[in-house]
Chain A
Amino acid sequence: MNKIIRFIPLVLFIALGVVLYRGLSLNPQALPSALVGQKVPSFVLTQLLKPDNTLTEKDLQGDIVLLNVWGTWCVYCKYEHPYLVDIAQSGRVALYGLNYKDDRQDAKQWLVDYQNPYQLSIFDPLGKLGIELGVTAAPETFVIDKQGIIRMKHVGPIDGDIWQQKFLPMIEILEQES
């Protein structure tokens, strides 16, 4: 009995070590999205390039959709932009933009200065749809299936590696579903 008791501190120490090792190797910024598995929330907002045209969640349905949250004020949006152009050209997904908390003129100019990879951009100056989607900042990208259900959320910029490792496997699953 006494021998067992002597080993208790060692066991506790190892247990604590395991817990701390796991805790410290987690990325605290990587939060599970509360919206994965749910329908795109309903909204009525205008189109960025055509202020007279309103868009709703129904406009996002029917295709495998990548909804990319962007703004001209966002540094990483510039970084991921060339990758988005590539993705748009590949034609595997419908790439839509959510212009988040931005100025309409600035955003239009941005799309002229660089290339416009988006089939269309939703204009969300107050970030209302952003809150509905649980957006914390730009860039963020949602993968939406043909039924309009959010299947994945990526926080941060997309680049070649992330596209290969995170997006392509998901898109392949969605392509097989239909």
Chain B
Amino acid sequence: MTVTLAPPAPVRTGRASLDDLHARARAARRMVIDMAASPTGCHLGGSLSVLDILIAALDRANAGDGTEVVLSKGHAAAGLYAALHVSGILAEDPVPRYGAADGHFTGHPGAAVPGVRFPTGSLGHGVPYALGWALGRRMAGRGGLAIAVAGDGELQEGLIWESCQVAAAQKVGNLVLVVDRNGGQNDGAVDAISPLPRLADRFATFGFDTLEVDGHDLAALRDALAPARDGADRPLAVIARTVKGKGVRPVEGKPSAHYVTIDAARAAVWKELVR
């Protein structure tokens, strides 16, 4: 395979303690706030809702068994960069060059960033990328999960369900699709635009195993992603209930937090609020 921009190899540092994961999540939230205070601003609400999922998923990848994490909701790039950095995979602090002309930290992630194998941003594509990766690992007799992280609004893309259909038909049990169920999308609430009732049942009907967890409970997320699933013949969907803007009280649950640009003074106040 030829990759347009070959990134440096990501670093795998091994698994962390639960306390370390909590510390990483707090540090990453502060970095995301700093990126919201960059000249470009960032997708703050979705970056904060997905952050604990990413912290747990990247810790799973740090096991070094070939597990790959694909952020399909690529607009949460700020969250991904921060999570990669605090997880020890991305050496460079992404904050100073987020959105800048002299760096690769674009508003949707590209494969020039260490730890980002698949570029994403146009919604829906990350899930079939992960599906192909999972299938390839299985065919090669090698372990590891392919963890695709999608938004609930993203599930409105037909490509997602094409991929779920194929994943179940091909019995790709090492594919894990984590849904960041924050209930929001660009123009408002998912329920008001194109609701997703009985979401776990939908995945079950497609032939997935399903789990529903608190998407901000790092212990629960870690447990959900722990099994190797080498012998599984049904892919797994994890519905992670989350809050948009989680961890920063002034924006928690607010649709207006979808994309935010703030100044340095406000960023300093918000970082103090991170729990």
> Do A and B form a real pair?
no
- Residues of A participating in the B interface, judged by any CB pair closer than 8 Å: none
Which residues of B are at the interface with A, using a C-beta cutoff of 8 A? none
